[in-house]
Structure formats: structure tokens, C-alpha cells
Homo-oligomer: A and B are copies of this chain.
Amino acid sequence: MRGTMLYGPRDVRFEERPDPTIIEPTDALLRISAACVCGSDLWPYRGIDAPGQPTPMGHEYCGIVEEVGSAVKHIKPGQFVVGSFFASDNTCPNCQFGYQSSCMHRELVGGAQAPWLRVPLADGTLVATPSVPSDDLIPSLLTASDVLGTGWFAADAANVKPGSTVVVIGDGAVGLLGVLSARQMGAERIIAMSRNAPRQQLARAFGATDVVAERGDEGVARIMDMTNGLGADSVLECVGTQEAMQQAIHCTRKGGYVSYVGVPHGVELGGEGLFFAHVHLHGGPAPVRRYLPELIDPIWHGKINPGRVFDLQLPLAQVAEGYRAMDERRAIKVLLWP
């Protein structure tokens, strides 16, 4: 098959690769229905945290099960499945506690920007839809594999409840789906921070009641002004930079909640500042597997349409253009059809 490899900064190649096969008896082999480019793929694409060698790319996926290993009991060939970027057994104590992305046997899934994919720990990792979906549902189901699950975790970790005032920092796909998640959880006021017109528009479509274009201290001042000087109940930090994290902490009310779901780059939290900020802090790699059943259901029934984050769709063979479009912020998120 031909699959996507990152050779170095801005060097994405779609090239001949070995066909994946079942290696462990707990594996499944998927025929990918759609894949995409993740905001987190841009870090190595830009040369930050770059792997030292050519690396197969892609960790968001959905597709049809082609074959399963001898130990796979529940996942069957022919099913349409969605899985997370961390394979998990879904039975260890960390999984049972709801932290499948810290599964004691977790494995990173890689190489999903390709027509075929091997998924480890298939029974624990994959969730099947009620039947094979029509093509129009596939973009939304694909978001459940990462960006929707991550936005949902951001809202959940920030304790969004009916009536909450919520701030979402970051207007990438995760932030935008954090807005959608907060809306689903009943937030009364959702303030999206964005200075990009198409993203502002999508944020409003997903349920944002307000948009703030200011950043940093000015952004904090605006939020304080909009919340009677108190700060928001819940703040979702969906960027992963020091500026975004500080902004999040400073626009949260005393006793409020900050979540953070993007791998932090250069973030250092001073203990004393955090102490007097008096906030709750929770985050980490989103345990997407925990949420998959509850996310697939409203997508299946057309109640939410998170697939709208894909504002550019390309044939898989044009994956390099997909990376360029996201890197240059010409696209929010790129879907790739094999």
C-alpha cells in the first residue's frame, strides 16, 4: 500500500509501505474509511519534538474490520469501528477508572494516514457502530477518534455543568469541539477565544454565545469584564503553550476549573501563582475510549455534527497538501479519503 511518512520538517511523503498484518493475537486489521491530519501532527511537522527517523503518520481513524487476531472476542470482520490514538485493553485498573489513555498496556496507534491500519488490543480499543454508516456520517464519526473525544474530555475535566460559564482557549478543532461539548453539557454561556473569522463562525455554530478576539492579559481583562470581575466557572485550555495556560488560569473564578488537553510545550507553572489562583486543574491525554459509546450515539442519530470541523477534504494521496493547509491555517482540519 501507499502510506504517509514524515521524513523531517515539512517533508511529508505519500509512499510505498509494507501492508500491515496481524502481529499479535489481540490485533485487528482495518480498512480505513477516512483519516485526517491532527493539530498535534503539526508539532513534528514544524520540527518540534521531531522523531529522529522517518515515521508513519496519523492516529485518528475509523473503518471496516478486515481481519482479527485469534484472541479477539468481540470485534468482528465487517464491523465499522472507531478507536482512539492510544490502544488500551479497557480492563486494567487505570482503564476501569476511566483513564484508558493511561492504560497499563497502552500502545500508540500510528500510521493511520493510509488505506490500512493495524490496531493493537482490538477488543479494548475499538467500538463498533450499530451498522456500517452512510458516507455522510463518516466525518463526524472520525472526529470521535480524537478531536471530539478530546474536546469532550476538556469540557468534562473542566467540570462543565448545566448553567456554567465556560471559556474555551484555542480555536483549533479541539477547541471548537470543546465548544460543542460544553453546549451538549448544558453550559449557559460559552466564550470562544478566536481572532479568525471562519473559526469564530464555526464556534458560534457549535454553541458559542460570545467570541473574544483579545489574547493574553487583554483577553483575561475582557473575560473578567464579562464575568463581573469573577472569572469563568470552567476554562478549557486547548492549545498547550505557556501563554494559553496562564491565560486559562487567570480567567478562571476562585474555586473554578481549568482543563488542559494539548501536550504542553514549554509550560512551567509557578507554585505560588497556582496556589493563590485557587483553581482546580486537570488534564492530560484525553481518555477518548471512555467517551466513545456516548459520542457515537448522538452522531449516529444526527444530534450533533462535529464533522463540520473538516473544512478541507482531500484524496489521501494529497496528504502533503493537507499538512500545508493546516500549517498555514488555511484549513481548520483536513479529512483524507483513501
Which range holds the interface residue count of chain A? 35 or more
**Contact A266:B271 (CB < 8 A) given known A276-B285, A278-B284:** yes
Question: In the docked arrangement, what's the CA distance between A316 and B292, Å?
Answer: 63
Q: A161 in the interface, Cβ–Cβ < 8 Å? A: no
Q: Tell me the complex Cα distance, A310–B193, Å.
A: 51
Partner of A271 from the list B94, B97, B255, B269 (CB cut-off 8 Å) is B269
| Chain B residues closer than 8 Å to A97, beta-carbon distance | 253-255
CA distance A216 to B138 in the complex (A): 49
A-side residues, CB < 8 A to B, are 93-94, 97-99, 101-102, 104, 228-230, 240, 242, 245, 253-255, 260, 263-272, 274-285
Please provide the 5 A-B residue pairs with the shortest distance between their CB atoms, ordered closest to farther.
A267-B271, A264-B271, A102-B254, A278-B284, A99-B254
Main secondary structure on A side of the interface with B: mixed
Which residues of chain B come closer than 8 Å to A245, judged between CB atoms? 271
Nearest B residue to A100 via CB reads B254
CB distance from A88 to the nearest CB of B (A): 11
Chain B residue at minimum C-beta to C-beta distance from A49: B272
Decide: A270 and B271 in contact? CB cutoff 8 A. no
- 26 chain-A/chain-B pairs, Cβ below 8 angstroms: A93-B228, A93-B230, A93-B253, A94-B230, A94-B254, A97-B255, A99-B255, A102-B255, A240-B271, A242-B271, A245-B271, A264-B275, A265-B271, A266-B271, A268-B268, A268-B269, A268-B270, A269-B269, A269-B271, A274-B281, A274-B284, A275-B285, A278-B285, A279-B282, A279-B284, A280-B282
